[in-house]
Amino acid sequence: MPADDIKQFIREIPKAELHMHLDSVPPELLLRSARRNNVELPFSDVEGAIEWYRFNDLEEFLQKWMVTTSVLVTETDYYEVALELGRDMQQQNIIRREVMFTYAAAHEGRVELDTMMKGLARGRRQVKEEFGLDLYFIADIDRTISPERSLKYVDEIAAYKDEVGILGIGLDCQEIGYPAGVHRDAFARARELGFYLSAHCGEEYAAGPEGVWDAVNDLNVDRIDHGNQAIRDNELINHIVENDIPMTLCPISNVSINVYESIADHPVIELRNRGATVTVNSDDPPFFQADLNDNYMQLVETFNLGVDDITQLVRNSFTCSYATDEEKTAYLAALDDWCRVVNPG
Ligand code: ADE
Ligand code: ZN
């Protein structure tokens, strides 16, 4: 298929995204909130933002990530962030999105949890009404907080579970020096409360396959966020395959924060070929100037993927989601219908 046709195929195929961060707000929206709230950003226009978004590693990325959210203060700010996620879903044909937010890292101290939750709940309802799309959330725990704090946070967030559509508890931020097992009580409590569980792990080289083992063994996660370093451990790959633990991989993100030199070095396709259930995701699109469709397109160009490969990856995005069985059946039927129209016979 010619490159333009593949591009169109990727853009139009109905898909889900399971790993992106709400706290990665598009610069246009940040600038608007900054003006409204009289707060300064380290850039004054979109070009300045793009210039500022350069990272040597995860640590530098996380520092800048937290600076940008400093302009979000009111319920309206969060409403607009959620609504923008919906607009972007419509543009990329993402019919379901499970979006992470990290209250302790990026918002606490500036905004009451209740203010943020009310804004997100309103935005999410509007996304359904205006675009007919399914927006859900995952409440990530910043790894660097204390286990007492993370346990308390799980109970606090549970109060908003249904109203805000929070399906899971996750773990993110700096991994090196902050082992996942510290938060085992928070994750056990989250399980009791009916949340699904995931964790960012095995992202940077220094985190290694051990970071993934920790998340799998100590937190009993349902999904692995990143986990790309698993490629260095055959026993771990076998464990992931045998236990069918889905991986939410983010190829362009990993290249942007210098985990890999190029997409060609990324293990997403090798992990797939070894039997892991992998999904493709964007992580922090405004920071990398690359959305979900760009991630698919770069995989196509680098690994010479065809429409069957893309369709299988998209299928995984639905089957690995936290949707109910009935919802998954409906999403897959929509996908199959679309494929039949595009490729009759
Ligand atoms: N928060 C946002 N993006 C992240 C990443 N790639 N790793 C860890 N925490 C994050
Ligand atoms: Zn992430």
Per-residue pLDDT, 3: 81
Assign 290 a pLDDT band (cuts: 50, 70, 90): very high
Per-residue pLDDT, 84: 98
Query: Which residue among 19, 56, 61, 295 has the greatest number of ligand 1 atoms within 8 angstroms of its CB, and so is best to mutate?
Result: 61
Section 292-320 average pLDDT = 97
Q: Check whether 177 has a pLDDT greater than 90.
A: yes
172 lines ligand 1 (CB under 6 A): yes
Q: Check whether 344 has a pLDDT greater than 90.
A: no
Pick the CATH number of 3-321 from 3.20.20.140, 3.40.50.1000, 3.40.630.30, 3.40.47.10: 3.20.20.140
**249 contacts 243 by C-beta, under 8 angstroms:** no
284 lines ligand 1 (CB under 6 A): yes
Token pair, residue 309, equals 């490969």
Q: Whose atoms come closest to the Cα of 198: which ligand?
A: 2
- The protein residue with its alpha carbon nearest to ligand 1, atom 5, reads 173
Strands (E) located in the chain: 15-21, 94-101, 134-142, 166-172, 196-201, 223-226, 247-249, 278-280
Token pair, residue 78, equals 């969060």
- The protein residue with its alpha carbon nearest to ligand 1, atom 7, reads 173
The set of residues, in sequence order, having a beta carbon less than 8 Å from that of 247 and lying 6+ positions away, is: 223, 224, 226, 227, 230, 240, 271, 276, 277, 278, 279
pLDDT in tens, 179-228: 999 999 999 999 999 999 999 999 999 999 999 999 999 999 999 999 99
Per-residue pLDDT, 345: 64
pLDDT in tens, 87-144: 999 999 999 999 999 999 999 999 999 999 999 999 999 999 999 999 999 999 999 9
The set of residues, in sequence order, having a beta carbon less than 8 Å from that of 44 and lying 6+ positions away, is: 31
Per-residue pLDDT, 141: 98
Q: What phi, psi does 297 have (nearest 5°)? A: -65, -40
Residue 172 CA, closest ligand 1 atom number: 9
Token pair, residue 304, equals 């010479």
17 lines ligand 1 (CB under 6 A): no
Cα-to-centroid distance, 173 and ligand 1 (Å): 5
- Mean pLDDT (the chain) is 97
Stronger pLDDT, 344 or 85, i.e. the higher one:
85
Assign 2 a pLDDT band (cuts: 50, 70, 90): confident
**What percent of the chain clears pLDDT 90, i.e. is strictly above it?**
95
Token pair, residue 166, equals 């929070």
Per-residue pLDDT, 245: 98
19 lines ligand 1 (CB under 6 A): no
Per-residue pLDDT, 343: 81
Beta bridge partners of 278: 247
Q: Where are the domains of the chain?
A: 3-321
Per-residue pLDDT, 32: 95
Section 309-331 average pLDDT = 98
Beta bridge partners of 97: 17, 135
259 lines ligand 1 (CB under 6 A): no
Residue 102 CA, closest ligand 1 atom number: 1
Q: Check whether 229 has a pLDDT greater than 70.
A: yes
Q: Check whether 176 has a pLDDT greater than 70.
A: yes
Section 319-339 average pLDDT = 98
200 lines ligand 1 (CB under 6 A): yes
Cα-to-centroid distance, 5 and ligand 2 (Å): 30
pLDDT in tens, 261-280: 999 999 999 999 999 999 99
